[in-house]
Each structure stands twice: as C-alpha cells, then as structure tokens.
Amino acid sequence: MIDKKIAAYIEQHTTDEDELMYAINRQTQLTTYYPRMLSGKVQGKFLEMISFMIKPKYVLEIGTFTGYSALALAKGLQPDGKLITLEVNEEMETVIRKNIALSPYSSQIQLIIGDAIEIIPDLKNTFDLIFIDADKEQYTDYYQMAFEKLKPGGFILIDNVLWSGKVIKPSAALEKETAGVVALNKLVAEDPRVEQVMLSVRDGLLLVRKLPEN
Ligand SMILES: C[S@@+](CC[C@H](N)C(=O)[O-])C[C@H]1O[C@@H](n2cnc3c(N)ncnc32)[C@H](O)[C@@H]1O
C-alpha cells in the first residue's frame, strides 16, 4: 500500500532479523504457496518489541503458518512464560515443530494443531497478549473469544486490518474476507470495553487494550 521506495527505506532502517528468523523467512518464501502470509522483517521486529515491552507470562497466537511470528512474540516472554500457538493446517506441523525446535524457546512454545474456534474455549490460561492472524471471515469470532481469554489490561494485536486497502471500498463491493475485516474493525471501534490504535505497519495492525475494569 505504501510507496516502494518508502517501504525499502523502512526495511533499511529496521534492525535485521537474527539468523534463525532470516532462515525461516527465506525458507517460507521458497517453499510455501502464500509466503506473503508471513509477518516479515519489519512486522516481526515490531512483534518482538511489543513482546519485550509487555514481558508477557502467557501469549496466545491464532494462525501459526511457519512459526515466524510465534518466535518473534516468544522473545519477550518471562523466563517461566508460555506461548500457545494454534494452526489448523496439519500439513504445516512438521515445519513448525522443526522451526520451534531450532529456537531457544522450544520448551516455552506449545503448538496445537486444530481449529482455533474449537480450541480456544477449552484453553485454561488467561493471556497477557493475543495475536490474531488466521482466516479473515472469522475475525469477529476470534476477537470475541480472545476477549474472554484476555487478562484485564491485556492486549490483542490483530493483523491485516487494512487488507491491502480494500476495507475502504463501498460495502456492496466487499468480498467475504474483506467483509470479515471490516466487521472486526467496526466491532472493536464500538466496543466500550477496550481502547485501540490502528497502525499502518505492513497490511495494518490493530492494537487493542482491554480496559482494566473489564
Ligand atoms: C496469515 S497466516 C499466519 C502467519 C503467521 N502468523 C506469521 O506472521 O508468520 C494464517 C494462518 O492461519 C491458519 N488458520 C486459518 N484458519 C484457522 C483456524 N480456524 N484455526 C487455526 N489456524 C487457522 C492458516 O492455516 C494459516 O497458516
């Protein structure tokens, strides 16, 4: 969505990925059908920073893909902290487990293969930080479910909230995925239990804070 030269400038002025993150990024580009689903260098570094700032004990991720963002979010975990990541596509399991095993966080990350909609209600933990990055049609369901599992004062980060800019098209012209993102953005904007900021990082990130009294 942004000028290519500006995007290159942003990349140049962002700290490089470490060796493992670079390798996962590269391998994802070369071996998957939709490599643009991966967060990438700039967003990955942003997720790391958020994690370092919050120092979460429990993180939940909805939508693992190849494990890139899970590893970024794991970086700021407390020493006894835990990250649970959910992925519905069982074909990704081997590569995710391999990538997690190569990291220093393997004992802190739990991968659950299955449909997040079925898994989340049974999770016992409440979370300091939840990253929503799965299919867009179910974004409002993920948000409602995530909210129930979020600690008061906790944060939800939601990816792709600008959806390549399609969110500002007239509503009649929206396809299902865009409609899902638009509905989510409206739901959060009208939710009195939270405050939020929409950021134009990559494809749009929505950072939501659950007000402590909720
Ligand atoms: C955009 S990718 C995630 C990218 C990853 N978070 C990253 O930044 O590298 C979305 C992933 O969500 C998964 N997914 C879609 N629907 C899901 C569901 N209902 N439950 C769990 N995972 C789901 C897809 O299979 C896909 O791997």
DSSP state of 107: T
CA 213 to ligand 1 centroid distance, Å: 31
Ligand 1 pocket: which of 36, 84, 87 to mutate (most atoms within 8 A of CB): 87
- The CATH number assigned to the domain holding 144 equals 3.40.50.150
| Count of domains forming the chain | 1
Alpha-carbon distance of 103 to 74, in angstroms, equals 10
Residue numbers of the domain that contains 147: 4-210
Is 178:136 a contact under the CB 8 Å cutoff? yes
- Binning pLDDT at 50, 70 and 90, where does residue 169 land? confident
pLDDT tens digits, one per residue of 106-163: 999 999 999 999 999 999 999 999 999 999 999 999 999 999 999 999 999 999 999 9
Mean pLDDT for the stretch of residues 37-49: 97
Percent of the residues in the chain that have a pLDDT greater than 90, as a whole number? 95
Residue 2 pLDDT: 86
Short-list 77, 4, 13, 23, CA closest to 45: 13
| pLDDT beyond 90 at 1 | no
Which of ligand 1's atoms lies nearest the C-alpha of 47? 8
CB atoms within 10 A of CB 108: 17
Rounded to an integer, the average pLDDT of 60-81 is 98
Q: Is the CB of 21 under 6 A from ligand 1?
A: no
In the predicted model, is pLDDT for residue 65 greater than 90? Answer: yes
Distances in whole angstroms, Cα of residue 148 to Cα of each of 65, 129, 167: 24, 12, 26
